[in-house]
């Protein structure tokens, strides 16, 4: 396989998978090249530095794990159903990539900025929906912050003490009942 026919997106996805498996340290050129079955030259065909790969990987995470789900549920007209769908998506998948992004944000400015942008977009999205349900602007924002904080807390518990969470569907249902008027 030549550098020309291994596209940049495959490097980004391999780096995102490595980040999810082993954190930011796992986003290393040589192991990724071995995994992809190419030489390091392929990497340098697409990226100047590891930091450039990290920035592209973070952008991919934002597209796939932040913007993608928000765009999908934004198509739902009813704000309550939209919020339920978003909470369902958040509880339907293991939060491993989100937790790795949180961990990496302490060590890398690009990752930190992406985590902040993701939080801002998610909270703003939910605040709009809560506002559409009749909550005042201030209350809608507080409710969105509470919902997002619940998501972050569940992600931490999923990693650190999953036995405390019990049935994920039952917890998701209870969370939705408590958060959505």
List the structure tokens of 31.
Answer: 């192991």
> How far apart are the C-alpha atoms of 93 and 98, rounded to whole Å?
10
> What distances in angstroms separate CA 20 from CA 25, 43, 47, 147, 180, one per listed residue?
11, 20, 20, 24, 31
Q: Which pTM does this prediction carry?
A: 0.89
> How far apart are the C-alpha atoms of 168 and 155, rounded to whole Å?
11
How many Cβ atoms are within 10 Å of 140's Cβ, its own excluded? Answer: 19
pLDDT band at 93 (very low <50, low <70, confident <90, very high): confident
Report pLDDT for 5: 58
How many Cβ atoms are within 10 Å of 90's Cβ, its own excluded? Answer: 20
> What pLDDT digit, counting tens, does each position of 21-61 carry?
999 999 999 999 999 999 888 899 999 999 999 999 999 99
% of the chain at pLDDT higher than 90 = 70
User: Which domains are seen in the chain, by residue range?
Assistant: 3-179 (1.10.357.10)
Report pLDDT for 170: 86
């Amino acid at each position: 396989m030549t550098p020309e026919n291994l596209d940049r997106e495959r490097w980004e996805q391999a780096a995102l998978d490595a980040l999810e498996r082993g954190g930011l340290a796992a986003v290393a050129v040589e192991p990724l090249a071995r995994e992809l079955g190419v030489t390091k030259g392929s990497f340098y065909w697409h990226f100047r530095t590891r930091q450039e790969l990290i920035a592209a990987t973070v952008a991919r995470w934002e597209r796939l794990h932040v913007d993608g789900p928000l765009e999908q549920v934004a198509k739902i007209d009813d704000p309550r159903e939209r919020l339920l769908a978003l909470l369902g998506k958040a509880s339907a998948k293991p939060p491993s990539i989100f937790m790795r992004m949180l961990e990496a944000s302490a060590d890398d400015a690009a990752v930190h900025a992406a985590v902040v942008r993701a939080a801002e977009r998610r909270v703003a999205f939910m605040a709009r929906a809560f506002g559409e349900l009749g909550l005042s602007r201030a209350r809608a924002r507080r409710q969105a912050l509470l919902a997002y904080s619940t998501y972050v807390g569940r992600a931490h518990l999923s990693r650190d003490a999953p036995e405390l969470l019990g049935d994920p569907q039952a917890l998701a249902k209870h969370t939705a009942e408590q958060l959505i008027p």
